[in-house]
Chain A
């Protein structure tokens, strides 16, 4: 059994230069510790390995029952030069939400 990040959290992605910034925000604060344990920098780097060179840095924000992930070298050079359809990587939050984690129960 597994859960997706999608089941426990919402997410938004933004950009600065060639760096993607993706928030993960728990619907229920009780899931924060589970995500702290399971949604590691390594797991996120693995989910984005085909899109981003990394590194991935995770910033915990317990006050907002959230995390902020900063993924470097993620946007094909950045919005001004990228050839991608989604130059800002705004749709990257959906890659985050699709990450599967072991069942918390």
Chain B
């Protein structure tokens, strides 16, 4: 049991492909107040923008239906509020879909508070002078190919959405830790100048945003880092108190492990400069953070610090950048590697004969050098899979790679096996700019009656 002055914020998804059932287990057995689904990878909003342009009703995360269908009955019954960025490129459409799911489940009129304003594409269209963070070039260089531009909004507007009383809060792009910080700010009345508390809540959000990463997922190692019952690992939650104290826990009875080691890996994960992790809410400093095992599967987080937030939002600009074509085929047994290398040369020559050119091209011997390169120093495996990939603006050139690799069955060195169908995918590239916060109009709209 937990004390009444605690707010418990649970993590229900760390990516749109995350498992569904652990979120339900957390809602049923975790005694949580909030269930947060973080479902947007870098490219997701661009992809969903394309979906919306084909069908104006779509553009939210397609996983919204399955997730809400699974957890809504429990959440509504127990009064667990849902916070999610599954609105993606169409939060209003997502809200309508969520309300329909609720009605279909017999839960009646469930209101959804929708966070809007992250879509800044019409704004940045006129700001071609903004510099891309990645290469310093003007935004102008990718504007003609732009598909989407979304600001990473902060916890303040999500907090405002919670203030409406709606059981569900749905947003597009919001920074991952902000989704978790918002319920704490709302419950305890924390403001952005309560920096030690904002720091603690942001650290908690960062620990929760990859769900199973703190409960033993992506952690185990045979005979070295054991994870019990990994097939059933559970999702985590944070117990927050008004004074900013934070303890991380996980679903009772679930598999996995939650300890200082798992939390340390996630705390440092993708943080770059640990004294300056920039979120829309603050600049987090974890260089003094302590993690303490307080009980089984409970870790206390203390001493996070923060400086005030920067005056800008990071904006992800998604744009179409041609195609990636891929093909794979396998060689096994005597001289497998030599035959795979020969096939690669033939494919390259065939592509050249057809006049195809590529901005980037790559040959992998999967089983030897596809992850860490250095083919010259790797031992020869019994079997190897040849992978070839190229990026190009010409769709036919992209398709030709997989076509020619597959043709190694008929026209290559002796006995290839198991070629895959030629694969072609659209490249949705992402670059970013900084936009003054004052230019962005983050706002909340309520669908239904809270």
Q: How far is the CA of A79 from the CA of B283 in the complex (A)?
A: 25
Q: Find out whether the CB atom of B270 lies under 8 angstroms from the CB atom of A16.
A: yes
B-contact 0/1 string along A12-23, CB 8 Å cutoff: 101111110101
Q: How far is the CA of A68 from the CA of B429 in the complex (A)?
A: 27
The segment from B63-71, B174-182, B368-376 found at the interface with A is B368-376
Q: Does A3 contact B (CB under 8 A)?
A: no
Q: Find out whether the CB atom of A61 lies under 8 angstroms from the CB atom of B268.
A: yes
Q: Does A35 contact B (CB under 8 A)?
A: no
Chain A residue nearest to B390 (CB atoms) is: A83
Q: Find out whether the CB atom of A12 lies under 8 angstroms from the CB atom of B268.
A: yes
Q: Find out whether the CB atom of A21 lies under 8 angstroms from the CB atom of B272.
A: yes
Given A12-B218, A80-B42, A80-B430, the answer on whether A91 and B265 have CB atoms closer than 8 Å is no
Q: How far is the CA of A13 from the CA of B16 in the complex (A)?
A: 20
Q: Find out whether the CB atom of A25 lies under 8 angstroms from the CB atom of B264.
A: yes
B-contact 0/1 string along A74-101, CB 8 Å cutoff: 0011111101111000111011000000
Q: Does B88 contact A (CB under 8 A)?
A: no
Given A61-B286, A91-B371, A94-B372, the answer on whether A81 and B268 have CB atoms closer than 8 Å is no
* Chain A interface, DSSP helix/strand/loop, else mixed: mixed
Chain A residue nearest to B213 (CB atoms) is: A12
Q: Does B134 contact A (CB under 8 A)?
A: yes
- Which residues in B have their C-beta under 8 angstroms from that of A15? 270
CB of B135 to closest CB in A, whole Å: 10
- Which residues in A have their C-beta under 8 angstroms from that of B321? 80-81
Q: Does A51 contact B (CB under 8 A)?
A: yes
- Which residues in B have their C-beta under 8 angstroms from that of A92? 372
Given A23-B268, A68-B274, A80-B43, the answer on whether A51 and B372 have CB atoms closer than 8 Å is yes
- Which residues in A have their C-beta under 8 angstroms from that of B54? none
Q: Find out whether the CB atom of B389 lies under 8 angstroms from the CB atom of A21.
A: no
Given A18-B134, A63-B289, A70-B273, the answer on whether A50 and B374 have CB atoms closer than 8 Å is yes
Of A10, A25, A63, A90, the residue contacting B287 (CB under 8 A) is A63
A-contact 0/1 string along B312-324, CB 8 Å cutoff: 0000000001001
The segment from B76-84, B110-118, B356-364, B414-422 found at the interface with A is B356-364
Q: How far is the CA of A26 from the CA of B71 in the complex (A)?
A: 39
- Which residues in A have their C-beta under 8 angstroms from that of B230? none
- Which residues in A have their C-beta under 8 angstroms from that of B265? 10, 12, 23, 25
Q: Which of A43-69 contact B (CB under 8 A)?
A: 50-51, 59, 61, 63-66, 68
Q: Does B290 contact A (CB under 8 A)?
A: yes
Q: Does B450 contact A (CB under 8 A)?
A: no
CB of B390 to closest CB in A, whole Å: 7
Given A51-B372, A79-B42, the answer on whether A63 and B427 have CB atoms closer than 8 Å is no
CB of A97 to closest CB in B, whole Å: 9
- Which residues in A have their C-beta under 8 angstroms from that of B303? 63
Q: Does B387 contact A (CB under 8 A)?
A: yes
Q: Does B20 contact A (CB under 8 A)?
A: no
Q: Find out whether the CB atom of B371 lies under 8 angstroms from the CB atom of A85.
A: yes
Given A25-B265, A66-B264, A80-B429, the answer on whether A59 and B273 have CB atoms closer than 8 Å is yes
Q: How far is the CA of A94 from the CA of B218 in the complex (A)?
A: 13
Of B261, B272, B273, B430, the residue contacting A25 (CB under 8 A) is B261
Q: How far is the CA of A94 from the CA of B371 in the complex (A)?
A: 10
Of B269, B361, B391, B432, the residue contacting A12 (CB under 8 A) is B269
Q: Find out whether the CB atom of A10 lies under 8 angstroms from the CB atom of B261.
A: yes
Q: Does B225 contact A (CB under 8 A)?
A: yes
CB of A68 to closest CB in B, whole Å: 5
Q: How far is the CA of A54 from the CA of B1 in the complex (A)?
A: 49
- Which residues in B have their C-beta under 8 angstroms from that of A51? 372-373
Q: Which of B269-320 contact A (CB under 8 A)?
A: 269-275, 286-291, 303
CB of B277 to closest CB in A, whole Å: 10
Q: Find out whether the CB atom of B269 lies under 8 angstroms from the CB atom of A21.
A: yes
Given A21-B269, A23-B269, the answer on whether A95 and B372 have CB atoms closer than 8 Å is yes
What are 20 A-B residue pairs whose CB atoms fall within 8 Å in the complex? A12-B218, A14-B269, A16-B270, A16-B272, A25-B261, A25-B264, A50-B372, A51-B373, A61-B274, A63-B303, A64-B286, A68-B274, A78-B134, A79-B42, A80-B428, A83-B326, A83-B360, A83-B391, A84-B364, A85-B370
Q: A19-B272, A61-B287 are in contact. List 5 more A-B contacts (CB 8 A).
A: A16-B270, A21-B271, A23-B268, A68-B268, A81-B391
